[in-house]
Amino acid sequence: MNGKVDISVTINGASYTRSVEPRMLLSDFLRHELGLTGTHVGCEHGVCGACTILLDGRSARSCLTLAVQVDGQEIETVEGQGSREELGRVQTAFRDHHGLQCGFCTPGFIMTITDMLRHHPLETDEQIRDALSGNICRCTGYQHIVNAVRELAKERGPLL
C-alpha cells in the first residue's frame, strides 16, 4: 500500500479523481497536481488570504485545508471566474478601478468578493472593508479594491 488516498472533486465544473498523500494541502493539490496556479500561497498560515478559493460556494483558505478533506465537494478557483479573452465581472471591476498592482493577492480578493457578494448586501464602505478584512494587499492601499466592490454591490446581478 502506498499510503495515498483517492479523492474525487469538482473544480470549476470539471471532475477530477486523484490519489493524494493524506497530508497534502489543498493549495498544493490545486497548484502542483492540477496546474491551477492562480491560487497563490502567501503566508501558509491562513492570514493573508492569497490562497482563498470557494469550497461548496463559501470562501476557504486552501493553505489550511487538506486535499483529502474536500473529497466529494465542489471548488471554484480564480481560473473559473473568467478567461484572458473574457474577464468575469469581479475581474473586470478590478481592472476598471485599478484594484490591483502586483497582482499576487488579487486571486484571493476575487474569490472572497465573489463569496461576499453572493451572500451579503455590502451596502456601505464599512461593510465592504469588513468583508475584505481577511485579505492582505501590500500594494494598493485598498481604496481601489473598495471602489470595485462598491460598483459590483450596486449592480447586484449574478456574478457567475
Are 61 and 88 in the same domain?
no
In this prediction the pTM is 0.93
Judged against a pLDDT cut of 90, whether residue 139 lies above it is answered with: no
- Count up the domains in the chain and report the number: 2
Are 74 and 53 in the same domain?
yes
pLDDT tier, 157 (very low <50, low <70, confident <90, very high otherwise): low
Are 107 and 74 in the same domain?
no
Are 60 and 114 in the same domain?
no
**Per-residue pLDDT at 140:** 80
Q: Hunting for cell 462598491 — which residue is that? A: 150
Rounded Cα distance, 95 and 70, in Å: 31
Neighbours of 88 (CB within 10 A): 17
Among 62, 79, 96, give the residue marking a domain's end: 79
Interval 102-125: pLDDT, tens = 989 999 999 999 999 999 989 899
Among 24, 59, 79, give the residue marking a domain's end: 79
Judged against a pLDDT cut of 50, whether residue 149 lies above it is answered with: yes
Q: How far apart are the first and last CA of the chain?
A: 42
Judged against a pLDDT cut of 90, whether residue 87 lies above it is answered with: yes
Among 50, 79, 108, give the residue marking a domain's end: 79
SS3 labels along 81-142: HCCCCCCCHHHHHHHHCCCCCCCCCHHHHHHHHHHHHHHCCCCCHHHHHHHHCCCCCCCCCC
Edge-to-edge strand ranges of the sheet holding 74-76: 14-20, 5-11, 74-76, 52-55, 58-61
CB under 8 Å, gap of 24 or more: what pairs does 59-65 form? 59/111, 59/112, 59/114, 59/115, 59/116, 62/25, 62/26, 62/27, 62/30, 63/25, 63/26, 63/27, 64/25, 65/25, 65/26, 65/27
In what helix (H) or strand (E) does residue 155 lie, and over which residues does it extend? Answer: helix 143-155
**What's the whole-number mean pLDDT along residues 10-36?**
98
Are 18 and 61 in the same domain?
yes
Q: What is the CATH number of the domain that holds 68?
A: 3.10.20.30
Are 72 and 85 in the same domain?
no
Enclosing domain of residue 93: 81-155
pLDDT tier, 160 (very low <50, low <70, confident <90, very high otherwise): very low
Interval 37-67: pLDDT, tens = 999 999 999 999 999 999 999 999 999 999 9
**Per-residue pLDDT at 158:** 55
Are 94 and 133 in the same domain?
yes
Are 95 and 105 in the same domain?
yes
Are 20 and 55 in the same domain?
yes
Are 59 and 104 in the same domain?
no
pLDDT tier, 12 (very low <50, low <70, confident <90, very high otherwise): very high
